[in-house]
Structure 1
């Protein structure tokens, strides 16, 4: 059975929306190695519609960007109730039917892990369904005050801390699993 590994850049006050607007001043080799370690353990990406559209709008047009070979070459599973096709980005497959059951079926397959980046709504749903095996939070030492949060209220998701590392920038890499 495949593991599902979710990774998010997140602020101290739980905001995970639009990390491109606030996270780069904290990015260094330590964080790059942590992110690379997640990707190296996976052979499939799982993305919600918004993240897929954002990534599909960048990576195919920038084949020489660092990491483009991984992003473009990796198999991508896309969860969306509004997209008709995902032909705009190579190796993308639109998951059919109930997203929770589709992810459960994908996890039952053989191979390396399935990794996620972003996709807050999908991440919340999969955490509640107890399908996330590892939640990697790269907690940045900044409070943003507003923006979409990983937990937006009402959820009860017990987690257990598996490991934590503090980077020289003050970013905390906390890895959680199901409690």
Structure 2
């Protein structure tokens, strides 16, 4: 929790002042861990391979451990995220769904194609472990395809109906006789 009061300490900020705690016992730069009975445990140098002369110098640990780093086994597998980190490609699923919805109202052909493309990108990111909202991508794909198919069918119906009307002699006669057209000045 944080407060907006001036001078209030954010609980997530490191403590300030001269009483900063040092590293915990057993960590590099910290005091050695205490043993029962008040004795402290001094870390031993690893044993050299058999047949190698033993020196009084302790062997150095890898730099990642010596500086307090994380062991390689604690890193996530490629494509996986650390716990609590946001997924970098979750916005693709959201965009796919938004474009799929907009394709029913504005720019049906263009928005449908964009929804389908971003939906497939979202699904791929989900399979690779870079996103966790593949369902939104799937919804965008479905809405995009449905809108695209209905738009193409509507265009085909319009072209066929317009072609049939242009070939109808009664419609041609109506277009050529302006006196038959309704006017705004007439009283009904």
Q: TM-score range by the shorter chain?
A: under 0.3
TM-score (norm 1): 0.18
Question: Larger C-alpha radius of gyration, 1 or 2?
Answer: 2
Say which structure, 1 or 2, has more relative contact order (CA 8 Å, 6+ apart).
Answer: 1
TM-score (norm 2): 0.18
More strand by share: 1
More helix by share: 2
